[in-house]
Amino acid sequence: MMLEKGIEEKTFYLNLGPQHPATHGVLRVVLEMDGEFIANSEPIIGYGHRAHEKMAELRTYQQYLPNMGRVDYLHALAYNQCYCMAVEKLTGIQVPERAEFIRVITSELNRISSHLLWFGAYLLDLGAFTPFLYCFDDREHILDLLDRITGSRLTYCFYRFGGVPVDVDEEFIAGTRAFISRLRSRWNDYDTLVTKNVIFINRTRDVGIMTPEQALKYGVTGPNLRGSGIPYDIRKSEPFSVYPLFDFEIPLGERGDVLDRYVVRLQEMEQSLRIIEQALDKLPEGPIMAEKVPKRLKPPEGEVYTAVETARGEFGIYLVSKGDVKPYRLKLRVPCFSNLSVMPELFQDVMVADAVAILGSLDLVIPDIDR
Amino acid sequence: MQFLLAEGARIGISLIGVIGLVSINALFLIWMERKVSAHIQLRPGPMEVGFHGALQTIADALKLIGKELITPEDADKLIYLLAPIVMFLPVLVSFIVIPFSPTLLIRDLNVGILLIFAFSTMAVLAILMAGWSSNNKYSLLGAIRSVAQTIAYEIPLLITAMSVIIMVGSLKLTDIVAYQATVWNVLFQPLAFILFIICGTAETNRAPFDIPEAESELVAGFHTEYSGMRFAIFFLAEYTNMFIVSAVATVLFLGGWRGPILPPLVWFLLKVYAIIFLMMWFRWTFPRLRFDQLITLGWKILIPLSLANLILTALAIKIF
């Protein structure tokens, strides 16, 4: 558009990433900017592509297990669980109940640690540094607990086909109970420091509204979908493992804005605590491994799809076996890929500062997208 | 002749004194900020270099001196080089009129407060120069934000200062301190004090108003491309600016050097560092405002409030 002679109104391109503090990984977003406002945006992915799906075809079933700790490294145990469930379903291995309970306890702990990390990193995006350190302090307790039985702090490879390799001990149970009461006593701090902060509410209320239609159109799942008010949680809608035994709620948002997604995640942590508490109370005695799981696993020909609810949404594995020691084909349905694809619509005509707030609220793990 | 010599010596000593104060103040403040933030965040902060990390900043400064000075290829070189200097010099000039104690001040100008405000506004020019000349889009966005938000906080800053000035009836900083011999101005002007602290925080470009350099949005804003000592000068200017804003607040509202028992200089520094501590506390507690929210805050809340305060003050003076 020509405004005056010689002055032309132009948009310019801004690269957000691949190295940028707000992308939390090697995601690149090309923004077409009209001053401070975003006219168009396009995510460019693939910088962290490691061919996880192809790797599955080149490894035996057991050898592929460690990969599942590295797709979404923040909620690795859910990925572990999904893969184990797929193989168990294919081979017909029955998992003992105690093992399922241990899986649920550890996976929910992992979910809380993932949400806590998101909480801190998100506030960092909004320019508040201190909550980051507070929630890392809390998260450290989870890492210590999980380190105790899984042996690692981040890229877990804990579950086995047919159960879990290590049983929980008294110290783990006592530590988990102590952690539950500790985290519950912290909600008030988080509320007064962040959730009730006027600046925080101004930055998040009515920003980046995702309508339920948009969310469904792009296949958004997890807290992002529930923030828009759609009660879809695989733990409830297609229950797996021993989740039906527990009493918990699905927190929902109303407006689908950034604040709703934030509140949903905070409430989910409390629900996870409830699940862990009940699981610890009901923890049955018994074996932790199924009997007679062959060392050289050769599932029969067939195909299965299993899905779990991770901290970021629906993670599914579609596994095809031709009766070999290696999978014939393995497809990962990752939540972050769909959650990212809705981003350009949310970025339309917002300011850079809001774009950072929206990008953060989607809780993307970039290796999960690139996989 | 003798007058010229004496004046020359005076200027020389003052300059050395000011530069010494600026450096030591920045060294101390950076250490203080790291310690304050660390304790707010439940961690010890620097502990290795010197007693409780007291010499950490010196180690950091030495490292910065050793760094390569990078000039982007397509930068507007002259402006790029001038920007840190333009940022730093006005800050230095402001020290001329700050009364540290009844005897320790360089020049008691009768337009003292005006001089400080005039020169502190020049920082925006420096930010614009740095942002424009770096030939970096993030820097440019930072510079644009900085210019746009200036009016939002500088007008209320001046108006609140004005309400104190019409009470005192002088622009001279020593007169303002003398006026507060019995009661500090903060008791007459509590609203003005709060407004002044808010605008002062914005003036120093610190969180929650650190919009021109918003790290998670614009990487480092206007100084993204600066490295080594050029970056250090921006840093130095920021901390010196904090000192000046706090010193002005001390003079205007907290009675300057006045206080019992302790020597005047100690009282002055205590008050200044207390205000700086408050600003650090803000930074490590609040999230950042969005750029348009700061402008809304400035125009819709700060300016009307400060104007109302000014009118009330004028009325009160007329009546009593």
Q: Do A133 and B291 touch (CB under 8 A)?
A: no
Instruction: Please name the residue that has the structure tokens 């050793």.
Output: B66
Smallest Cα distance from B286 to chain A, Å: 6
Smallest Cα distance from A356 to chain B, Å: 6
CA A83 – CA A156 distance, rounded (Å): 13
Stretch A249-278: mean pLDDT:
89
Window 6-25 of A, Cβ < 8 Å to B: 12, 14, 20-22
Instruction: For residue B144, list chain A residues with Cβ-Cβ distance below 8 A.
Output: 35-36
pLDDT tens, position by position, B278-301: 988 888 888 888 878 888 888 888
pLDDT tens, position by position, B255-281: 878 778 878 888 888 889 999 999 888
**How many residues are recorded in chain A?**
371
Does residue A2 register a pLDDT over 60? no
Q: pLDDT at position B216, please?
A: 66
Stretch A255-267: mean pLDDT:
89
pLDDT tens, position by position, A159-212: 888 888 888 888 889 999 999 998 888 888 888 888 888 888 888 888 888 888
Any chain B CB within 8 A of the CB of A354? yes
pLDDT bucket at A112, cuts 50 / 70 / 90:
very high
CATH architecture type of domain A55-370: Orthogonal Bundle (1.10)
Instruction: For residue B43, list chain A residues with Cβ-Cβ distance below 8 A.
Output: 133
> Closest-CA residue in chain B for A352?
B217
pLDDT bucket at A7, cuts 50 / 70 / 90:
low
DSSP 8-state assignment for residue A96: P
Stretch B84-96: mean pLDDT:
83
Instruction: For residue A354, list chain B residues with Cβ-Cβ distance below 8 A.
Output: 290
- Residue-by-residue DSSP string for A271-307: HHHHHHHHHHHH---S-SB-S---SS--PPSEEEEEE
Does residue A1 register a pLDDT over 70? no
pLDDT bucket at A302, cuts 50 / 70 / 90:
confident
Window 112-131 of A, Cβ < 8 Å to B: 123-130
The structure tokens listed for B40 are 């707010």
The structure tokens listed for B2 are 């003798």
pLDDT bucket at A113, cuts 50 / 70 / 90:
very high
Are the C-beta atoms of B294 and B149 separated by less than 8 Å?
A: yes
Any chain A CB within 8 A of the CB of B2? no
Are the C-beta atoms of B253 and B164 separated by less than 8 Å?
A: yes
Instruction: For residue B211, list chain A residues with Cβ-Cβ distance below 8 A.
Output: 353
Instruction: For residue A35, list chain B residues with Cβ-Cβ distance below 8 A.
Output: 144
Are the C-beta atoms of B242 and B29 separated by less than 8 Å?
A: yes
Q: Other CB atoms closer than 10 Å to residue B39's CB: what's the count? A: 12
CA nearest to B95, candidates B279, B206, B240: B240
Which residue among A12, A126, A130 sits closest to B285, beta carbon to beta carbon? A130
Q: Do A21 and B137 touch (CB under 8 A)?
A: no
Instruction: For residue B137, list chain A residues with Cβ-Cβ distance below 8 A.
Output: 12, 14, 33
